[in-house]
Homo-oligomer: A and B are copies of this chain.
Amino acid sequence: MTEKRPFDILNGSLNNTVVVGLKGGTELRGTMVSYDVHMNIVLEKAQQLVNGEVKRGIGTVLLRGDSVIYISPSGME
Give the B-binding residues of A (Cβ under 8 A).
4-10, 19, 21-26, 28, 33-36, 38-42, 44-46, 52, 56, 58-77
Assembly of this chain: how many copies? 7
Q: Nearest-CB distance from A38 to chain B (Å)? A: 8
Not counting A19-B58, A59-B75, A60-B77, a sample of 6 additional A-B residue pairs whose C-beta atoms are within 8 angstroms of each other reads: A9-B42, A23-B23, A26-B69, A45-B77, A62-B70, A67-B68
Q: Are B6 and A40 in contact (CB under 8 A)?
A: yes
Q: Is the CB of A64 within 8 A of B60?
A: no
Report yes or no: A9 in contact with B62, Cβ–Cβ below 8 A.
yes
Which residues on the B side are within 8 Å of A58 (C-beta)? Answer: 19, 72
